Amino acid sequence: MPTVSPPLPKGEKPKRILFTGGGSAGHVTVNLALIPVLQAQGWDISYMGSSGGIEKQLVGRLADVAYYGISTGKLRRYVDLQNMKDPFHVVKGVFQAYRHIRRLRPDVVFSKGGFVSVPVVLGAWLNRVPVIIHESDLTPGLANRIANPFAKRVCITFEETAAHISGGKALHVGPIVRSELLRGSVLKGLQWSKLLPGKPVLLIMGGSLGSKRINEMVRRSLPELTRTYQVVHLCGKGELDESCSHVKGYRQYEYIHDELPDIVACTDVVISRAGSNSIFEFLALRKPMLLIPLSKEASRGDQILNAESFRKSGYCEVIQEEELTDEAFLTALGKVHAERDAIRARMRQNELGDPVGRIVTLIRETCGE
């Protein structure tokens, strides 16, 4: 279990922290891992994100965390008419964040990144509230690059990321793993998904929004997959396919919340995108992976770098999306399955340490404790 600083002394006024980050589940999960730890220490916690993004859904499930929605603009890397409107949304968001932060008076702001975080970081800077940023990927995202000049420290997952952070602000803390994932039950996972013990379970995750291409390929390959595996497919909102609901040993869900630790516990092999938070969680749980990173056309290429780092360490096989065919997919998956024991052995050699404790200590130091 992580070792963190002791609770605040009885009777002392609680410190206040404002979290931000969103646009995808990956920009929220680190915050979700930190919030319960700080709550247990008596912190007053609030969250600022977009008015209708996935971060509002995820944070809304937490008790005693006030949520503040603001206007946001998306930092696109492609031509779109919305690009002309988004700067105005960002400016509006900065003023909204400034007013909220002026009233809330947090002692520190913790930003996980994503386009929603930029107005919050700027609003904090205008209020002279110290900002800590967290960067999960090997190279910083655009939002964090914009926010870096306004932050005191940048927590990084990969040591190599320090070369991309200016001002000597980088602090290597390692990967953050949600503690609830470590408490999953194999039996509960099998019972909830109505699967049988004894046959390997394959978990497929295309990211919080799903992946249409991966979904289609998996469903085409179900006759081959279900010969070897029982399949749990997280396909994204609106991506369920009722024509496959009759397939024996195949379970599809848009998204799984409370039951996810149990589902991951009973999983033998994972097919996933290569977002840093997810793949480090699978590493901590010793789950061999087949990674299909987002292409450079659909992203800034961060997932390609993440996947290559894991491939070199022997934790996974990788297929680039441009090379994704049904045959290549089944071949690579077969290789992961055949080598799963050796992959797990390499994973057990990785020591994650206590990144949550390091970040909580940094937060308290930033507040002057």
pTM, full prediction: 0.81
Matching CATH topology for 16-177+353-366 and 180-348?
A: yes
Q: What are phi and psi of 228, to 5 degrees?
A: -105, -35
Q: For the domain 180-348, what is the CATH code?
A: 3.40.50.2000
Domain map of the chain by residue range? Answer: 16-177+353-366, 180-348
Residue listed under structure tokens 């290789």: 335
CB-CB contact of 69 with 50 (8 Å): yes
How big is the chain by its Cα radius of gyration, in Å? 21
pLDDT in tens, 219-278: 999 999 999 999 999 998 889 999 998 999 999 999 898 999 999 999 999 999 998 889
pLDDT tens, N- to C-terminus, the chain (369 residues): 444 445 555 556 789 999 999 888 888 999 999 999 999 999 999 999 998 888 998 999 899 999 999 998 665 554 555 555 667 788 999 999 999 999 999 999 999 998 899 999 999 999 999 999 999 988 898 899 999 999 999 999 998 999 999 889 999 999 988 888 989 999 999 999 999 999 999 999 986 555 888 999 999 999 999 999 999 999 988 899 999 989 999 999 998 989 999 999 999 999 999 988 899 999 999 999 999 998 877 677 889 999 999 999 999 999 998 999 999 999 999 999 999 999 999 999 987 778 999 999 999 999 875
Residue 134 CA: distances (Å) to CA of 30, 167, 360: 8, 15, 12
Contacts of residues 56-60 at CB distance under 8 Å and 24 or more positions apart, as own/partner, are 56/22, 58/25, 58/28, 58/32, 59/28, 59/31, 59/32
Q: Which two tokens stand for residue 218?
A: 């998996």
Q: Which residues pair with 18 in a beta bridge?
A: 46, 109
Q: Hey, which bits of the chain come out as E strands?
A: 16-20, 44-50, 66-70, 108-111, 131-135, 153-156, 170-172, 201-205, 230-234, 250-253, 269-272, 289-291, 316-318
Which CATH number fits the domain 16-177+353-366, given the four candidates 3.90.1150.10, 3.40.50.2000, 3.40.50.10860, 3.40.30.20?
3.40.50.2000
